Structure 1
Amino acid sequence: MTITLITGGNKGLGREIARRLIAVGHTVWIGARDADRGKQAAAELGAAFVQLDVTDDASVAAAVETVREQAGRLDVLINNAGILGEVTPPDEMAVDQIREVYETNVFGVVRVTNAFLPVLRRAAEPSVINVTSGVGSFTLIHDPDRVESQYPLAAYGSSKTAVTMLTMQYARTVPDVRFNAVDPGQTATDFTGNLGHAVEEGADAAVRVATLGAQTPTGTVTDRDGTLPW
């Protein structure tokens, strides 16, 4: 039995990843800031629920204890929770606007990952999957044929560049846990204003990596089509 926790798992991409992993036999914990929405999603999917605000130390610590006490270990952590922030060019953006995005998208990944490492290390083949984005790719934002080049996402894009690099640094320095980043691409959810491909396609990369088991690599960045250029 593979035990998986998905942050921001009550809607959109996180919910679809949860649905797919439950279908292949994972025991899934949905982490959500809003308890009512999280419990509802968990009940509908057949998942467990844990209240989890990735920006709050106490909330994360409490979530770790809940998973430790009730599940005993964690095989896969999927850091999916993220916010878009203001779609504003950097010269018009206040520092606090950038800080708000980084609190969830970057600092939240570090906070949750580090807090859950002891529980992950109870698993035989622990894996952390960080959801990144092609809008943080230096290559893709300069390609006029790619949708990533069309949006001035200074805060969100740079936060995902940071997530990708953090993933690589964890992979290089924490050899007993596998760390990989996945890009769902522009996926039609509330997050994107329902623009992009189907949520089923967006979930493909995360589901693939989460189900590799002993074959899980470390230090990769992929989308549903393969290696993501950076």
Structure 2
Amino acid sequence: MLEEEGLPPSPRTEITAFLQDDETRLGDVYRWRNEGMTPQQMAQAAGVPNVGFTYTYGAQLDALLDERLPVNSAHLARQTAARVRSWIKRHAWSHLTEEYLRSLEVRLEAIASDEVALAREESDAQKLTQEVERESVPGIYVYSLPHYLRHPYDPDRRHTLLKIGRSDVDVFGRMSQQTRTTALPEDPVLLRVYPVVEVQTAAIERYFHSFLEDADHSRSAARRGGREWFLTTTKFLDRLAVEKGLEIRIVNDDLDTTTE
């Protein structure tokens, strides 16, 4: 009734209309969710091998549309705040909706910067890292540092520094030694494992590294950390794994899908 009288639409109405035509993955999940699709069906429609992205985008939609903030996850709050900042910067909103988004960003940033939540999040990530390392599964391992995940090296493209290396048997020993020799300021967090038959690990590592170099996902920013560090995203690495027919094990999530 109010909108019929010429008053501006409510923030929820304006955001809903925007999402309906949004061509990013967030828009896809919004429309798929409205159609009643399951996470498995969404993953199949997106052509990706796992359903994790559906929960990340679902949490963003809950916050954007219904103000159901991820109060127990600094990680999700940080992702959603980045989404809101991108929207404010790149799109023209009504005054009412822009005020709503700016207020939402402030509340999300408060959750994302909570020291207790951050410490708990990092502790959980390290526990998962150590659990998977103890399995000593041969394959390609993808690591990063908590700082690089919270503050991407290339914020415009959401690219950050990731270590892509192989483990034949004892990845924990290799990473512990690297941490000592390169004097990394934090303990690395394991993001992905792509299991590989042990005799193929060197060849598969070359496959990943050569594609990263061809795509100009530079090593130059990470030379001090060693030649296994690249400026890239797990989204790109997962696509390389799919093309090679590799299993994708997600150990810890990251921020590579925040604004896409």
TM normalised by structure 1 equals 0.30
> Higher strand fraction: Structure 1 or Structure 2?
1
| Larger of the two Rg values belongs to structure | 2
TM normalised by structure 2 equals 0.28
